[in-house]
Amino acid sequence: MSEYQLSSILTQGRVVHMAVIGCGGTGSAFASGLPYLHQAMRALGLQGLQVTLMDGDLISETNCVRQPFSRGEVGLHKSIVLASRLNQFWGLNWEAAPEYLTDKSKLDFDIVVGCVDTRNGRKLIHNLVTGKNSFVRLWLDIGNDADSGQFVLGQPLNGRNKPSAERLRTVAELYPEVIDFAEEKPGDPSCSALEALTRQQPFVNQVLAAQALALLSRLFWHGSINYHGAFLNLATGKSTPLPIDPKQWQRLSRWNRRAA
């Protein structure tokens, strides 16, 4: 098993620019934990994070069941409310982008964190962070269903991350079905509190967000990681790490080609 070493560019005298795309259940939980990572980085002598929260959604009454919004905020943009709350409490100057991601969006960030709940949204992020015109260093994808989920940290193949056996493979490379529209299951937003809780069990978002934050924390604190994601199942209590293993990536790639 190999390990990934953090680029010295991200530890030498400048802030790390991060975008969190999606401020729903997982995105809001992840964003709420970022100030702790920011403070830990500052304690290490690093410059910390400059974060942009992106989401065009407005807060609905149903969102108040399992997302950190109140009924007094219904009708406001999730991204603006969340950024304002974090800035006021922590004394930060993070930004909100109250808009949906499109194929015209520019993701000029060091780290892009995808907290979207559709294959279409994940495909869009994949397209924007790959290719010669993108210089995103890391893409962290977090996804879940009712009581399980996964997070995968990868280095998208682009103008900065060149082909190599050691390059961290992204979620789209390891599991291409996550960006396959044909496998998208139709589903409208939950219109009742009970349905919202039935479709996603309480705390699945928070558990995934905490584990993903712990991975980033370990990367910045120790300068390296020997796993780049994990699969979690709250129904069974099982957690399976995703090792940094180029041979395993090759096996998955061959299997995906045969299955295509």
DSSP string for residues in 171-207: HHHH-GGGG-GGGPPP-PPP-SHHHHHHHS-TTHHHH
pLDDT at 254: 77
Q: Which domain holds residue 21?
A: 4-259
In this predicted structure, which of 117-131, 177-191, 222-236 has the lowest mean pLDDT?
A: 177-191
Q: Which residues contact 255 (CB under 8 A, 6 or more apart)?
A: none
Average pLDDT, the chain: 90
pLDDT at 191: 40
pLDDT at 90: 98
Q: In the structure, what pLDDT confidence band is assigned to residue 251 with cuts at 50, 70 and 90?
A: confident
**Burial class of 256 by CB neighbour count within 10 A (0 to 12, 13 to 18, 19+):** middle
Is the pLDDT assigned to residue 20 strictly greater than 90? yes
Is the pLDDT assigned to residue 211 strictly greater than 80? yes
pLDDT at 189: 47
- Higher-confidence residue of 177 and 91: namely 91
Mean pLDDT: which of 2-11, 32-41, 188-197 is highest?
32-41
Q: What number is the average pLDDT over the span 52-77?
A: 94
In this predicted structure, which of 84-98, 133-147, 183-197 has the lowest mean pLDDT?
A: 183-197
Write out the two tokens for 160: 């900065």
Is the pLDDT assigned to residue 112 strictly greater than 70? yes
What total number of domains does the chain contain? 1
pLDDT at 9: 77
Is the pLDDT assigned to residue 111 strictly greater than 60? yes
Is the pLDDT assigned to residue 200 strictly greater than 80? no
0.85 surpassed by pTM: yes
Pure H helices in the chain: 25-43, 63-66, 78-90, 119-129, 171-174, 193-199, 204-222, 246-259
Tell me, what CATH number does 212's domain have? 3.40.50.720
Is the pLDDT assigned to residue 183 strictly greater than 60? no
Is the pLDDT assigned to residue 190 strictly greater than 50? no
Interatomic CA distance for residues 129 and 122, integer angstroms: 11
Is the pLDDT assigned to residue 115 strictly greater than 50? yes
Q: Which of 180, 166, 176 is nearest to 252 (CA)?
A: 176
Contact 34, 51 (CB under 8 A): yes
pLDDT at 10: 79
